[in-house]
Structures are given as C-alpha cells and as structure tokens.
A = this chain, B = another copy of it.
Amino acid sequence: MQTRRAFLASTFAASLAEGAEKPNIVMIYADDLGYGDLGCYGHPTIQTPNLDRMAARGMKFTQFYSTNPLCSPSRTALLTGRYPIRSGINVVLFPDSKGGLPSNDITIASLLKGRGYSTACVGKWHLGHLPQYLPTRFGFDSYFGIPYSNDMSPATSANPNRERKNSWAPTPLMRDDKVAESEPDQAEITRRYTDEATAYIAKSARAKKPFFLYLAHTMPHWPLAASAAFRGKSARGLYGDAVAEVDWSVGEILKALEKAGVAKNTLVFFSSDNGPARLGLEGGSAGLYREGKATTWEGGVREPAIAYWPGRVPAGVTTPAFGVTMDLFTTFAKLGGASIPADRPIDGQDISDVVLKNAPGREPLLFYYNQGALRAVRSGPWKLHVSACCTQPGGADRAYKDQAPPLLYNLEIDPSERHEAAAKNPDVVTRLLALIESHKKSFTPGAPQT
C-alpha cells in the first residue's frame, strides 16, 4: 500500500510541467451555512447575488460534502486531506482545550508554501488556539482572526457549556500568534476579515508570487451579527443579514482579484464547514436535506460549493459530481505543483478534472464520522447509517444510537432520506457493512486531541 502510494505521489508530481505558472488559490469557507441558504440553491429570501453570479460563471456542486458535520474536525479534513480522526480532532475544541492539530500534520498551506506560495489564513481557525497550534505553525505566513467559535466567550450568555465558560478568556482576535484585541465587535468581523483578505490579495499580486488565501468566515455561526450596512436589511432576519454580508465579502474578493489583475490566474472555491445549526430561526436551512449540523444525515454534511476561475472552470455548470472537502487538499496540491505526502495515508482525491473539465467525478465512497465514530457510509447512490440520531424527521431525539438493522437510503432518487430501503436491498446492506469493516481494519485513528 505504501509502495503504491509513493509511486503515485512521484508520478503525480512528475506529470506537472515544472515551468507552468502556478495559479493562486482562494478558499472561502462559511461557518454553519446550510445547503439551502443561497439564492442559487433555492433560498427564497436570502439574496446572494455575488455567489449566484460566481455559480452562473463557474461550477455549482450539488453533491459536495464536508468530511465531518462539526467545526474543528471539518477544518482538519479540509486542511490535511484526511479523515479528521486520523489527527485525533474528533469533536469541537473549546477555549479551555489543551489540544489542537498534531505538530506533524501537514496542511495544504505547508505544501503550497514548499512550492513557492505565499500563504495567509484569515478568519476562524479552530484547530487549537495555544501557540503551538496556530496557523503560523502550519504553513501560513500570516494569520488574522478569531481562533475558535464566536460563541465561546464568557460574554456569550447562552453557551451550553455554562460551568466551563466562567474560566474562559474573552474572545480573542489574533494577529499571527498574538492576541490583538479582546472581544472584538462581531458585527464588524466579516468586514474586517474582508479588508484583510483584499489587502493581502493586492499585496501578493504586487509581489508577483503565487498565493494561497484561506478565508474562513466566522459568520453565519451563532451569535449572529452583521455590520450597520447589512443589519436589518435582509428579509430573512439577522441570519439573512449575516449571509448577505458574507456574500458581499465574496464580491469584494472577486473585485480585488480583478483589480489586482490576477482573476484569470486564480481558482476561488466557496463552501461551508458543515450544515446549518439547528437553532430554529437563528440557524440556516438544509434545503431538501434532512436534519443539520452535528448529524450525519445529509443536512449535516451536504454543502453548497462553487468553483470559479474565469477561462478555466467551465462556466454555468451545475454538476452532481461528487466531492468532499478532503479532496480540496489533494486538488489544490496538484494545481500548485506540490506532491502529496507519501509517508501517510491521504484520504482526499484529486478532483481537478471535475473542476476544470466537468468530468463526471470519482466513485462517491465516503465514510461519515461524527464525534469520532463512524456513523454511515455512502457508496454510489447508497447511504447506510449504522449509527444515527433523530431518527424521525424533525425528531427531538438527538442521541446517536446503533442502528440494527442499519438504515439504507438511495440518495440519488431519495436525497431527503425519507424512504428507508434496507429490507428491499439486503445485498447492498451486506456490501456496505463489509466496506465499513474493511475500512476499519485498514484505518488507524490518531490519539484524541479534543
């Protein structure tokens, strides 16, 4: 297995023309945004003209996944290209957590930096806030942002971790590895991240060096906030205001790329870390999908995703091709001419042919983890839940329970997971259970960091 992987890694690098101009890559990640929350995914009253235009001139995915339905593990997968339990990031990190991303983990920022990229992280990190876990230790030249969730402050009265929170520090806004401000005004945070990102784009373009910008918005994670220009402007309430400001930010990024003259050499990818928080009107919409954040129903992991690169990403394509955030690690590495690490399993696959050539995509084989446990698998059209919560649509039962027999759905014909089909397809159940067993045997979780 290692031999084959090393071989693939070397041919992979060799296949790239050494002299080719390296594209800039901008990854924009929203927080807790649901599949149904954008105009181009059918939301009726949240207006997202910039993202809609990006989709109309680029590629919109309808079967793109977050690797995990929670913030910290989801971001681990995006940046390391691996199931997050390989890194031991199994649940969400808190301000009193002592752990974070293991020091030997390799992020896409490190890989691209090794190929001559300048790199910046702006926004929510959430892979450890202690000095040894910050973005600048993982390949990012600079960092500006709130290092964990915006509700993790003693000032946030409704935080469920009531007893712990009294020991927490005020919400920090960091510049590189220093706290620059305490309890920054969150209504200004989207605008400030955007200013930082657009300045970085202008500076990097002037330096004539390829760049990787990871802009991870704090919004629309609860507690919701928007600047004066957006507050009260959306018909969808404060949630819609916050999404509208993220959409504005996307427009500013695209404008900054144009202004700096690098739009035609920059891939912009937009997605969200997990499905909508199930907070009633303060959470988003999963559209036609069942449930939301912190579940392995489709509402927890199926994400809006848009790829944009004028002249390179085919325009106006809506693709059902499969993709998962882990794949972006491998895909960005390929675009930047970096070899993926050969000394460890990398779970993400290269989907550059989907993004650049509208290829049909790889076999959608995906294991769903939540809270460090494997809950479900998708293979082809089928999804098997071996452990599920909230088994009635909209049900209040939030605890995960082993499902015996497991629950089977055909996601291609039944994306809303309404028609359980195990009894009619025993052979599929058997095959998927075998896939899970085989995966577990070949798989070594890392020591828990959370």
Please report A residues at the B interface, Cβ cutoff 8 Å: 35-36, 39-45, 47-49, 52-53, 56, 60, 62-63, 235-237, 239-240, 280-281, 285-288, 302, 316, 318, 320, 381, 393-394, 411-416, 418-419
Most chain B beta-carbon neighbours within 10 Å: one of A63, A239, A285, A411: A285
Q: Please name 23 pairs of A and B residues whose Cβ atoms are closer than 8 Å in the assembled complex, sorted by A.
A: A36-B287, A36-B288, A39-B318, A40-B42, A41-B41, A44-B411, A45-B320, A45-B411, A45-B413, A47-B318, A47-B320, A48-B318, A235-B320, A236-B412, A237-B413, A239-B413, A280-B418, A281-B414, A285-B416, A286-B288, A287-B287, A287-B288, A393-B394
Instruction: Report yes or no: A42 in contact with B42, Cβ–Cβ below 8 A.
Output: yes
For residue A285, which residues in chain B have a CB less than 8 angstroms away from its CB? 288, 415-416
Known contacts A316-B52, A318-B49, A318-B52: does B288 contact A43 (CB below 8 Å)?
Answer: yes
- Tell me what chain A mostly uses at the interface: helix, strand, loop, or mixed: loop
A53 touches which of B40, B316, B320, B394 (Cβ 8 Å):
B316
Instruction: Report yes or no: A281 in contact with B413, Cβ–Cβ below 8 A.
Output: yes
For residue A412, which residues in chain B have a CB less than 8 angstroms away from its CB? 45, 235-237
For residue A394, which residues in chain B have a CB less than 8 angstroms away from its CB? 393-394, 418
Q: Give the docked Cα–Cα distance between A187 and B2 (Å).
A: 52
Q: Give the docked Cα–Cα distance between A285 and B287 (Å).
A: 10
For residue A48, which residues in chain B have a CB less than 8 angstroms away from its CB? 318
Instruction: Report yes or no: B281 in contact with A419, Cβ–Cβ below 8 A.
Output: yes
Q: Give the docked Cα–Cα distance between A52 and B40 (Å).
A: 10
Known contacts A288-B285, A394-B393, A413-B281: does B52 contact A42 (CB below 8 Å)?
Answer: no
A320 touches which of B40, B41, B44, B320 (Cβ 8 Å):
B44
Task: State how many angstroms separate the Cβ of A221 from the closest Cβ of chain B.
Answer: 18
Most chain B beta-carbon neighbours within 10 Å: one of A53, A285, A287, A318: A318
A235 touches which of B35, B43, B49, B413 (Cβ 8 Å):
B413
Given contacts A48-B318, A285-B288, A288-B288, 14 further A-B contacts (CB under 8 A): A35-B42, A41-B41, A42-B42, A42-B62, A43-B288, A44-B320, A45-B413, A49-B318, A237-B412, A239-B413, A281-B414, A285-B416, A286-B288, A394-B394
